[in-house]
Amino acid sequence: MYPFLPLPLNSILGLISRCGISFGGLSASFYQQADNGCRPIYGIHQSILSLVQKVGDLSGVETNMGALEMNMSMVSARKADISIQLEQEERRPGKKRKREVDLWMQRAQSLEDQVHKLGKKVRERRSYSCLMLAHQVRGLANEVDKLHEKARFDNGLTLAVKPARGYELQPGELVGQASRTKRDEIWDCLMNEEVLQVGVWGQAGVGKTFLAKHIHDQIVQDCSRFDGACLVNVSQEGTVGMIQTDIVNYLELDLTEVSCVYWGARLREALQGRRLLLILDDVRKPYSLEKLGIALERNGCKLIVTSRSKEVCERMNCHEVVHIPTPPDEIPQELLEEL
């Protein structure tokens, strides 16, 4: 004995047909026999029962699509949060996003596009099979769920990349006891944590830049107190923007889409927590460190200002001022040249 169909066959076939399934292969006698209450052959009967079960599943395709779009919106919100967090972390030099985070963001964007297109198909449902749509909805729902589970990134979004200490300037050999004494005097000031700014002044040609470059290279080569050094040649034409640009390039910050009005704030943020020696060389007039965005602090960044004017050093609030006098005749000529 074979079970009878639970619904009139014409009703079942009509529902199946509306879902895009064709039964053109069934003979007219089959329909006639079915309407008279006759039992169809077992194989066809079982196939139709299986399809009836699938049709029952299809009735919720729009509901499932709605649930998929809701889950996708949660993933999209998480993607937006990660983007903001990455922007903040990557502002600080030495931070680089993990490759797995990049791949997750790319996958989230791809799924956003796919879910949007599938939602449009489900709502229009013109020439698409309901069975096919239901299958696609289930498949995307599984992928979105898995992506959501991987969005935690418990170990952080970025890697700590050791920043470059800087390039050696190689000014030449430091010759003569007087020059070594002045170099050591400047160095001792830098090693004093109470001193954040050191002024070096003297007339043109006495070797201020030469000594500053030696201090720079000593830090770049090996100095546990500092992470690196950056020398900016200010000169007479120097503007706030030009000074900021040199420091930004050293820090490898991307401020191309940031208004110059905010450069000082972005530089200040980038320098916080760093231990760099910044050297402003050949300064002809006082500059506001606040406008430049130079943040100085104990166990943090420090500043050397070289100038022909003692007044410039003092007006820039240098804590210690070192005078480089006109050298005696025994100092080599190469020390007298500003490199």
pLDDT in tens, 254-275: 888 889 899 999 999 989 888 9
Closest CA to 234 of 316, 175, 174: 316
Q: What percent of the chain has pLDDT over 70?
A: 76
pLDDT in tens, 165-215: 777 888 888 888 888 999 999 999 999 999 999 999 999 989 999 999 999
Evaluate if residue 292 carries a pLDDT over 70: yes
Cα separation, 12 vs 85, in Å, equals 54
Considering only CA atoms, give the Rg of the chain: 37
321 Cβ neighbours under 8 A, 6+ residues apart? 198, 199, 200, 201, 310, 313, 314
Letter string b/e over residues 245-280, b meaning 16 or more CB atoms within 10 A of that residue's CB: ebbbebbebebeeeeeeebbebbebbbeebbbbbbb
Find where tokens 């096919």 sit. 132
Q: What phi and psi, each to the nearest 5 degrees, are found at residue 323?
A: -95, 130
Query: Predicted confidence band at 62 (pLDDT cuts at 50, 70, 90)?
Result: confident
Q: What global pTM score does this model have? A: 0.54
